Structure 1
Amino acid sequence: MNKKILSMLTIILALASSGRCSNVYSRKDFPKGFSFGAGASAYQWEGAVDEDGRKPSVWDTFVHSRNQDNGDITSDGYHKYKEDVQLMVETGLDAYRFSISWSRLIPNGRGPVNPKGLQFYKNFIDLLVSNGIQPHVTLYHYDHPQDLEDEYGGWLNRRSIEDFTAYADVCFREFGNHVKFWTTINEANIYTLGSYNDGLLPPGHCSSRSRCSSGNSSTEPYIVGHNLLLAHASASRLYKQKYKDIQGGSVGFSVFTIGFAPTSSKNDEIAVQRAKAFYFGWMLGPLTYGDYPDEMKRIVGSRLPLFTEEESALVKGSSDFLGVIHYLATSVTSVTHVESQREPNFYTDMGISMKFIGNYTSFDYAIVPWAMEAVLEYIKESYGNPPVYILENGTPMKQNLQDTPRIEFLHAYIGAVLKSIRKGSDTRGYFVWSFMDLYELLSGYEYSFGLYYVNFSDPRRKRTPKLSAHWYSAFLKDNTTFLGSQVTAQLQSRFSSSY
């Protein structure tokens, strides 16, 4: 760490111990064994999209067909993973969360394993473990092979459950001796909405023919969500039957969470409960209780698939932990549900309008840590207080080494996690999104979440630590106690003079 920055962190510690600043906490305040990390995903970090046997995923097809920014090279993690692991060591990460590219490991979606893809992930995982960094692996991060989409429609077809389970089997068998934390599906609820209700993510389905060439927003999100739950449960059962006793790992499922607050009226308070039933209960209801929430079943009716008794038993209790993805809070206003609406969708079914606190569309996220506390409290009270890992939390900014707002955001939310733990939440880990600048799925390269700056105009993709990387590293190494914005400006000043 730069000596000037270390000196500034020492000043911060002195200020904290003198009692001049409030909301002070340190790493030592967290339970023993609590994991701090950061993350990325395969398509956003790896690059090398047509190298060493990898075939296109739905992301490749989606972005190239729309002439959008793409992950063809992005941070070039496929070639630079050794350097990146060294940065993780220097930062002090306990754990690193990443995903495996199904298209790199099993290029056709089923059948032969790609030996070069297999070797890449083995090398990467071995290097993490040999450096004392715990791998947290996500099996599916929005990127199934295009071949499966072309052959039978991907997640809209129940054949995807069998193919996903076979893919998971390869991962468990090949990597499970080192990987103890598996997340099957990344934020299944928001992926399903983005891909099959709104058409913003691959394969780009929705009812609007001005935006999507195909899709049905009234039915497809529910079909896909159902198949994702069954695919997760199938992979989880396989792990328990075949690998758990030998490998000793755990299998979880992740959801996107929002902090909901009523706008004003009693109806808005009721609408918040309805929003939670749809956003949380859609996935967590079956995982915890074996079925969808009653209110969701009543409103969606026959468009919501039914679990057979066997499927209900398979899904219920199939997640050893819950992965929470959290960035946002929103105010909720009740909207009258129109029974005669010709083509409903997830949002009209929910019967609410949402106004994000901050400006979500311009990637200006508000710092509202109460939302994190509210999410963790709701999960604790409504779904049996499962083990939770915060798998993503962070804020986007235009690329800037002096990312002071990111420090303020992270400080507030890590503090919120600590408060939740003190109130009884079984939260066991926190991962910053993202470890470095990446191809972002909704904003390309315009905004970034990274602790490390990546120069995308440099063929070598040089990495440079931002102010937030120094902040997080010092916290992880317990070099200092962290405060709010009162002293961050001083740290920023020292940082500026060192570059």
Structure 2
Amino acid sequence: MQFEGAYLEDGKGWSIWDTFTNFPGQCPSGVMVHENATDTIRLRKGNVACDFYHLYPQDLRLAKRLHAKNFRFSVAWTRIFPKGDGPVNQAGLDYYSKMVDTILELGMVPAVTLYHWDLPEELQRRFGGWNSREIVPIFANYSATVFNALGDRVIYWTTINEPKTFCWEGYGTGMHAPGIRDPMQVANCSMNVLYAHAAAVKQFRKIVPGGKISMNLNAEWSVPFDSNSEQDQEAAQRKQDFEVGVYADPVYFGQFPDSVRARVPYLPEIPDDLARDLAGSFDYFALNQYTSSYAKYSDGSDSALGRCDYDVTHTGKDGLILGEQGDSGWLYSLPWGFRKVLNYVNDRYKPAEISITENGFNVKGESFMTLDEITHDTQRVKYFQEYIRNAVEAAVYDNVPISNYHAWALMDNFEWTDGYSKHFGVCYTNFTTQERILKASARYLANTFAPAK
């Protein structure tokens, strides 16, 4: 969705994000993509995005020029099964097979994510998508189909990208597709994600022996608003429990965090059979990390999942913001928070390896800059310098088992409800001509990861 475009080509079906963007304001929450980024000549919306579907050979060569060792991409479910299940669309499998071959020919390692929020619209209409347990065998079958097609050449896999984001924003706040606002559906989505992941991993073990699989989890570092307050310290831990623990604790410990279970009575217990299936289902920890925030105790405060008893802020007791603000309201650069998160994941879950699968920054006001200003993105360079340094320190001094690092993103793309108003790319994308132009951050990453001489 964010990169591929070609939204109905070669047999691809309709996804919930196609609906969200093509019929602005018609989802239950009434939320729309920024500026109704529909397929006009001016905006060329998510139906086109970066046109990666057609331009992937040149984009992969660009990644190689920047000394990328790995290349992560997501499979569009509706390219494989246009209606979510039923007949396989062979053209979709062939497309991804050719892409994997190209990645390997260029000497890079492919990393594949099976689900990146673009649920087939037909499944949402039939039974409510991730709100229903019916999705589990369908997702397992879809996963097995892709494993069979690509598993002979791909080692690194993830089943689902950022369940916290699409469950909370898609079914809780209504800010993302399918635009629903219902805490119970957030709970159902979270449970069904775990069932679907476990079912997919069962297929994976049979089809891709020797492969590695996980789920991409996004994690902020949570800083106590008042470091001397025990209530704020507990609120910071509780925020980790709600945002990361709901998806990681069942895998590693067989149950949801106690702080979540105590506050969300409609979140079911993890049954023994699911706990057994989840155990050992993360061969590595796939971490998406961008930002940090303060957590402050607040009795009765709610999250999208339900009562959480904490508030989130980026302004401290001293009135100063927590780090340099990006262009997104949620994004603040706090490099030492990255090291804290890496240590938190390592200490709590003790994974064999941690793959940093997303890390990046959008520069404030980039949409209103000249091309010369855009390509001299010193704030993004600073972000990468400091975040990478903290990751290196976590690996070298703290013995955190970091195996690889993926910057987000190769190029500016369609950023969900933000449309084309936010820019994470290290390459500028001209969405009219589809020209890619290197920013200073691209050159910085290329130099940083160039082979030693």
Q: Is there any run of 5+ residues in structure 1 with no aligned partner, and where?
A: 1-42, 207-215, 339-343, 481-499
User: Which entry has the higher C-alpha Rg, 1 or 2?
Assistant: 1
- Give the superposition deviation at 1:405: 0.7
CA–CA distance in structure 2, aligned partners of residues 367 and 154 of structure 1: 34
- Give the superposition deviation at 1:306: 2.3
CA–CA distance in structure 2, aligned partners of residues 478 and 354 of structure 1: 41
Q: Does 1:392 align with 2:358?
A: yes
Alignment-derived partner of residue 370 in structure 2: none
Give the number of equivalent residue pairs: 417
Q: Does 1:194 align with 2:159?
A: no
Deviations 1:396-420 (A, max 9, x none): 1315111111110001111111111
Counterpart code for 2:176: L
- Give the superposition deviation at 1:63: 1.7
Match of 1:321 among 284, 308, 317: 284
CA–CA distance in structure 2, aligned partners of residues 108 and 284 of structure 1: 30
Alignment-derived partner of residue 56 in structure 1: 14
Alignment-derived partner of residue 134 in structure 2: 159
Q: TM-score, normalised by structure 1?
A: 0.81
Alignment-derived partner of residue 4 in structure 2: 46
Correspondence list, 1:27-106, <5 A: 43-66=1-24, 68-69=36-37, 70-106=45-81
**In 2 relative to 1, CA 146–200 (structure 1 residues): closer, same or farther, beyond 3 Å?**
same
For the Cα contact (< 8 Å) 1:364–1:396, is it kept in 2?
no
CA–CA distance in structure 1, aligned partners of residues 141 and 79 of structure 2: 15
CA–CA distance in structure 2, aligned partners of residues 364 and 110 of structure 1: 36
Match of 2:198 among 210, 233, 239: 233
Counterpart code for 2:292: A
Q: Does 1:401 align with 2:392?
A: no
Q: Is there any run of 5+ residues in structure 2 with no aligned partner, and where?
A: 25-31, 38-44, 315-321, 368-373
- Give the superposition deviation at 1:138: 0.4
Matched position secondary structure for 1:138: strand
CA–CA distance in structure 2, aligned partners of residues 348 and 147 of structure 1: 28
Q: TM-score, normalised by structure 2?
A: 0.89
For the Cα contact (< 8 Å) 1:337–1:348, is it kept in 2?
no
Deviations 1:81-119 (A, max 9, x none): 111111112111100111000011111111211122111
CA–CA distance in structure 2, aligned partners of residues 244 and 143 of structure 1: 24
Deviations 1:114-144 (A, max 9, x none): 1221111111110001111111000000011
Match of 2:269 among 299, 303, 306: 306
For the Cα contact (< 8 Å) 1:363–1:396, is it kept in 2?
no
4+ residue stretches of structure 1 with deviation over 6 A?
none
- Give the superposition deviation at 1:359: 4.3
Alignment-derived partner of residue 110 in structure 1: 85
Counterpart code for 2:415: E
> More displaced, 165-174 or 433-442?
433-442
Counterpart code for 1:235: A
Matched position secondary structure for 1:97: strand
Correspondence list, 1:335-484, <5 A: 335-337=298-300, 345-346=303-304, 349-356=307-314, 357=322, 358-359=324-325, 362-363=328-329, 365-397=331-363, 398=366, 400-422=374-396, 423-458=398-433, 461-478=434-451
Alignment-derived partner of residue 187 in structure 2: 222
Matched position secondary structure for 1:197: helix
| Structure having greater relative contact order (Cα 8 Å, sep ≥ 6) | 1
CA–CA distance in structure 2, aligned partners of residues 360 and 351 of structure 1: 27
RMSD: 1.7
Match of 1:130 among 79, 92, 105: 105
CA–CA distance in structure 2, aligned partners of residues 259 and 317 of structure 1: 25
Matched position secondary structure for 2:137: helix
Counterpart code for 1:322: F
**In 2 relative to 1, CA 220–328 (structure 1 residues): closer, same or farther, beyond 3 Å?**
same
CA–CA distance in structure 2, aligned partners of residues 401 and 391 of structure 1: 24
CA–CA distance in structure 2, aligned partners of residues 384 and 178 of structure 1: 28
Counterpart code for 1:327: Y
For the Cα contact (< 8 Å) 1:161–1:230, is it kept in 2?
yes
- Give the superposition deviation at 1:347: 6.2
